[in-house]
Amino acid sequence: MRASLKRAGAAVLATVGIAAGSLAGTAPAQSAVPGDLQILGGIECHFGQWGQPWNQAWYMYRWMTVRNIGDTTMHDVILNEINGASVRVKELKPGESMSKWNGNRWVRPIETRWFGCFPSSISGFTFSNEAENLTNNFGYWQNFRRIDN
């Protein structure tokens, strides 16, 4: 009886040791964040210098882009402006954005520039081939607010 208890105890300890070792070995893989797309955008009013032509001195700039804030590459990423343009890239690596720096300014995949600055909005959504967190895949920006008397 005593020998069988020792064998059972040894078997339980071996099982616990193997389970703990396999959990410890897989911990880094479980803590990795999968790919996660985040949509960014905005509306900016720019007021130029005196003496410039009106169409350059006062304008509104609307833009949207997507950034991969996860740890894996996302494939076939699509950015859609609602009732507007659509942009697709084959892959977006971790930390990468659809926006590119051209030497003097950021070029966003969806951007418009209009004369004047008047109430406006821009909205859109993004998705890819991989399943991911959808809570940050839709965006809406506006440059006006309502103030009640």
Check which CATH number belongs to the domain holding 133 and give it: 2.60.40
Q: Are 39 and 138 in contact (CB under 8 A)?
A: yes
CA distance 141 to 115: 19
Q: Are residues 54 and 112 in the same domain?
A: yes
Average pLDDT, stretch 123-133? 94
> Do the domain assignments include residue 147?
no
Q: Are residues 67 and 96 in the same domain?
A: yes
| Residue 21 lies in domain | 1-31
Q: Are residues 21 and 86 in the same domain?
A: no
* pLDDT band at residue 143 under the 50/70/90 scheme: confident
- Checking if the pLDDT of 29 tops 80, the result is no
**What total number of domains does the chain contain?**
2
Positions of E strands within 2-147: 37-47, 58-68, 74-81, 86-92, 100-101, 106-107, 110-115, 121-127, 138-142
**Maximum alpha-carbon separation in the chain:** 101
Q: Are residues 24 and 93 in the same domain?
A: no
Query: What length does the chain have?
Result: 149
- Checking if the pLDDT of 14 tops 60, the result is no
74-81: strand order across its sheet = 86-92, 74-81, 121-127, 138-142
CA distance 66 to 74: 11
Q: Are residues 23 and 87 in the same domain?
A: no
* pLDDT band at residue 18 under the 50/70/90 scheme: low
